[in-house]
């Protein structure tokens, strides 16, 4: 399992549009991917799961993956979060 912590950069956090971009990116990988916020872990490929965390700007989350492409998956998703979803 590969894990990285990242702070959500964009002000509104992972609301519907950024969450959709995030999930689309997560679905490009074969690995199982999760997001964890304050001990609550959800499937990063599930819109309802991601939105249920209520992630706002400035929140630090963990992105974790398990599988053959886990490092690439986590690195790509962390990069997307750090970009602020181009907002």
Find the DSSP H helices in 5-69: 16-26, 47-52
> Is residue 79 within a helix (H) or strand (E), and if so which, with residue range?
helix 70-82
Which residue among 15, 32, 41, 75 is the active-site one?
Answer: 15
Token representation of residue 29: 């990988």
Q: Residue 15 catalytic?
A: yes
3-class SS of residue 85: helix
Active site residues: 15
């Amino acid at each position: 399992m590969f894990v990285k912590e990242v702070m959500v950069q964009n002000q509104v956090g992972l609301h519907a549009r950024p969450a959709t971009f995030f999930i689309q990116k997560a679905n490009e990988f074969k690995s199982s991917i999760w997001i964890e916020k304050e001990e609550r872990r959800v499937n990063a490929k599930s819109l309802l799961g991601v939105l249920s965390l209520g992630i706002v700007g400035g929140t630090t989350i963990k992105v974790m993956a398990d599988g053959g492409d886990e490092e690439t998956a986590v690195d790509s998703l962390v990069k997307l979060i750090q970009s602020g979803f181009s907002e």
